[in-house]
Amino acid sequence: MPEFRFGIRLRLILGFAAVLALSMIAAAVCTGFAAHREVSHIQDEQDRVRAGRIHSALADYYDEAGDWDGLQDFVNRIGFQSEREIVVLDADGVVVADNRPLRRRHDDRGHRVLFNAGIPRGPLPPPQYFTPIMSDGSEVGAVAIAAGRRGGPVYIFPDSHSDEPHDEEPPLTQFTERVNRSLIVAGFVAGVVGIILVLLLSRRILGSIGGLTAAARRLGGGDLSSRVNVKGSDEIAELGHAFNNMADAVEDSERQRRSMVADVAHELRTPLSNIQGHIEAMQDGLLQPDAATLDTVHRQTLYLNRLVSDLSLLAQTEAQELRLQLEHESIVDIAARVVDSFRPRAEAQSVRLDTDLPDGLPLLNLDRLRIEQALGNLVDNAIRHTPPGGSVTIAVGPHGDGVRVVVTDTGSGIPSDALPHVFDRLYRVDPSRERATGGAGLGLTIARRLVEAHGGIVWAESEERVGSRFGFDLPAHEH
């Protein structure tokens, strides 16, 4: 199952989505609320104006007729048209017209119609809902007007100014204005909530970045043990891990540099003090500057020379400054040349040199001199550690797309606890014995670096008192 990661990207998406959703909801709620309020406000206003018209129509009726006779028909009609329940009392409080209760139904064509359901009409509306009807300055009756709603009648008081022209703004302008105002409020609220959300969201991110900056400053200031405390698994945590890895690498290379300087100083000291000792002994007349003495001093200088050039080659490979002169080369040719150059030494040491160099191996992009040097170091070691009568075999063969080169000897072998370290810089299995035989513990390190510069790998197998197999694999790909 893929690991779910609550990364910064997801957090940002969720944060923005939340702010957006919140603003939409706030806007919708505010607008809906305002619209509802405004619509019912407008409806009330219209209801009162219509009730006012009914009220003045009744007063006109009385003015014209002089009494309330025949009012029931009139009330039925205007009540039906205006969908209002109307109860009219005369000056003595006697009911003169009542169109209640109105009922709704649908006609044949599906249109909704109102009809007067007739008696029983139910009790009279309470007195406070009646508005007096005036004629010639005296009260001639009273009317109660209601809209029949589901929960019971809702009484409407006539707007006494219904005849006067409204000089207020038209309701629609007011409506848009109020809706706009609530939209602005909604936007403001959503904005504030958004800012709070972003602040909460960014607090952790900025906190982690602050920690990283401080750690980087400490590292830059020379505190190589500076690390960040990584929390979570988001992108910042990844950056924190990358920083810690980088700091590990810096610390490690600094440690290596120090140990290298110490090791090199140590390696140089022995031959130098040998040379110094010989020269001082000659100056004091304790030693004759004869051929043998000079030869000893000369060998020490040769050793020093080789040590210095090995170290400088190693430094180049470590700084990735090694420039390879790549050409299409035959590994068989390279191996044959190396074998030829070691033949005199092998013979002098009574070590047999065998080869297995088949035809038909692919040509590879190689720096001939560097591969010769790497292979030379392996053959040199093998001959050096093989007693007279033993043998060293140099074999090449295909390996994947590339080639494998193997140097097998019947020499002393290497203890299994030392084997993993033989490619380490300045490592020697038995330092006291081996300085005399020539090596400073750089040969295999250099071989490894040269092979790795070609994209290859080196390896070693060994059994004590039986022999060793050192080899490297070179890939076919272009570098």
Determine if 182 is a binding residue for ligand ADP (CB under 6 A). no
**Residue at token pair 């590994």:** 331
Instruction: Report the residue from 376, 402, 411, 456 that binds ligand ADP according to the rule CB under 6 A.
Output: 411
Instruction: Report the residue from 86, 236, 442, 458 that binds ligand ADP according to the rule CB under 6 A.
Output: 442
Structure tokens at 150: 């589901």
Indicate the residue among 411 and 471 with the shorter CB distance to ligand ADP.
411
Indicate the residue among 190 and 422 with the shorter CB distance to ligand ADP.
422
Q: Give CA–CA dist 361/368, Å, rounded.
A: 16
Q: How many CB atoms lie within 10 A of CB 461?
A: 14
Q: Shortest gap between Cβ of 407 and ligand ADP (angstroms)?
A: 7
Indicate the residue among 47 and 372 with the shorter CB distance to ligand ADP.
372
Q: In terms of C-beta distances under 8 Å and separation of at least 24 residues, what long-range contacts does 32-36 make, across chains too?
A: 33/182, 34/178, 34/179, 34/181, 34/182, 35/175, 35/179
Determine if 445 is a binding residue for ligand ADP (CB under 6 A). yes
Q: Which residue is nearest to ligand ADP (CB)?
A: 439
Instruction: Report the residue from 82, 300, 381, 408 that binds ligand ADP according to the rule CB under 6 A.
Output: 381
Instruction: Report the residue from 264, 351, 375, 382 that binds ligand ADP according to the rule CB under 6 A.
Output: 382
Indicate the residue among 300 and 468 with the shorter CB distance to ligand ADP.
468
8 A C-beta contact, residue 58 and residue 131: no
Determine if 329 is a binding residue for ligand ADP (CB under 6 A). no
Indicate the residue among 322 and 418 with the shorter CB distance to ligand ADP.
418
369's CB contacts (< 8 A; 6+ apart) are 325
Q: Shortest gap between Cβ of 444 and ligand ADP (angstroms)?
A: 3
Instruction: Report the residue from 353, 429, 451, 458 that binds ligand ADP according to the rule CB under 6 A.
Output: 429
Determine if 443 is a binding residue for ligand ADP (CB under 6 A). yes
8 A C-beta contact, residue 425 and residue 260: yes
Determine if 412 is a binding residue for ligand ADP (CB under 6 A). yes
Determine if 410 is a binding residue for ligand ADP (CB under 6 A). no
Indicate the residue among 402 and 411 with the shorter CB distance to ligand ADP.
411
Determine if 271 is a binding residue for ligand ADP (CB under 6 A). no
Residues that bind ligand ADP (CB under 6 A): 377, 381-382, 385, 409, 411-412, 414, 422, 427-429, 434, 439-445, 468, 470
